[in-house]
Amino acid sequence: MKTRKYAMLLLMICGVSLSSARAERNGGYEYGGAAFGSFIADSLTRGKAGAPKDFYDWMNREYAKTGMKFRGRGEDTIERMLESSRAESAASRDAGKKTELEMETAAYLHKMVKKTIPRFSLDRGFEFHNVLKYGERQCFLQSVLIAAMLQKIGADAGVVMVFRNIAGQYSNNGHAAVLLKLANGRDIIVDASEPAPFARHTGVFARTAGYKFLFPAYEKGKDTITGYGEPGGGKRYGAAGVRALDYDFLNSQFWYYRGEREPGGLLSPSPGKAGLEKARRALATSVKLCPENPLAVYMLGRAELALGDKRSAQNTLGKAVALYTRFGWAPPGPKAYLKEAGK
């Protein structure tokens, strides 16, 4: 609670009201805005690394060092670069030209973010404070960052989790990427973990009326998506019927990574009670922020089981199995751990 209050105080100091922060969360989290600032403030407070302004200043310093110029325009800050693109997009009434600008900007950001934040770290790269401390990023943070920058130019962009990759290999929402909904009615996936900007991932966790595991349908010979289908030959959706994940899920996912990567926790080579307790608390926060984040619920159940609390683990893992089933795809892990918990 103290962390949240301090994060909100930092936003107010930066001239952003709480009401505008709530309003923006319902509509997006553009770069420099209140909702994106709350992601940063929460992380920096935890890492004792300053305020959101320190993050933006760091980004602009490192951006300047890259020497990158979008379309050769020469803006000296990320904000000015994005604002110029926003003005250009707003002035155009041609969906084709808007689409070209969106794709060109996405390809530029795919490269720029990697050059500005050069190191990739699974263990620490999900925290904004580790961007400042170590110049580190990972798939989720870089996706939130690119989506926020695309929102800043007026594009409809957000984050999805990937459960089946380009090669058709499954994971339990083990990767994150950007879903960019183009002005021409098509979708495209932007993935800074890949050498090329646009990735043809074959399974994403996104939203329809609620959260859903979906298989994208690509235009023949192109990276653009025309629609989506549910696993098992279920319902099909046009591109317009699918949205990226919402603010609450993203906020939950940051806490999920804090629990997953806790030293001495579930993924540690030498788990210990103290590390597992910290992991459990972080995962419980993740679930509280978004009770329908299936991976967070599942891993909370695993933490409870590892701590010997079988009754809680049975309840939590049962909820995880139900969520995966409702969302259309059930990986083997939750059922296996539910069985281990004695149910």
**pLDDT tens, 24-63?**
444 599 999 999 999 999 999 999 999 999 999 999 999 9
Length of the chain: 343
The domain boundary, picked from 208, 241, 274, lies at: 241
| Cα–Cα distance, 278 to 214 (Å, whole number) | 33
The three-class DSSP label of residue 170 is strand
Let me know whether 228 and 277 are in one domain.
no
Q: Write the CATH number for 311.
A: 1.25.40.10
Let me know whether 29 and 13 are in one domain.
yes
The total domain count for the chain is: 2
Q: Which contacts of 235-238 are long-range, i.e. CB under 8 A and separated by 24 or more positions?
A: 237/208
Let me know whether 227 and 178 are in one domain.
yes
Residue 260 has pLDDT above 50, yes or no: yes
Let me know whether 318 and 224 are in one domain.
no
Let me know whether 138 and 162 are in one domain.
yes
The runs of H, that is alpha helices, within 121-268 are 128-134, 139-152, 247-260
Give the model's pLDDT for residue 72.
Answer: 87
Report the pLDDT averaged over residues 132-155: 97
Let me know whether 38 and 173 are in one domain.
yes
Let me know whether 49 and 121 are in one domain.
yes
| Cα–Cα distance, 28 to 23 (Å, whole number) | 9
Let me know whether 70 and 193 are in one domain.
yes
Q: Which amino acid is at 115?
A: K
Residue 16 has pLDDT above 50, yes or no: no
Report the pLDDT averaged over residues 7-11: 42
How crowded is the C-beta side of 252, counted as CA atoms within 13 Å?
22
The domain boundary, picked from 212, 241, 270, lies at: 241
H or E stretch covering 171: strand 170-181
The domain boundary, picked from 224, 241, 258, lies at: 241
Let me know whether 167 and 288 are in one domain.
no
Quick one: pLDDT band at residue 74, thresholds 50, 70, 90? confident
**Residues 163-210: pLDDT tens digits?**
999 999 999 999 999 999 999 999 999 999 999 999 999 999 999 999
Let me know whether 311 and 172 are in one domain.
no
Residue 75 has pLDDT above 80, yes or no: yes
Cβ-contact 102, 120 below 8 angstroms: no
Positive or negative: CA dihedral 226, 230, 232, 234:
negative
Residue 259 CB-density burial (10 A; 0-12 exposed, 13-18 middle, 19+ buried) = buried
Report the pLDDT averaged over residues 284-290: 98
Let me know whether 73 and 48 are in one domain.
yes
Let me know whether 72 and 198 are in one domain.
yes
Range of the domain at 151: 2-241
| Cα–Cα distance, 152 to 231 (Å, whole number) | 33
Enter the tokens of residue 26. Answer: 């319902």
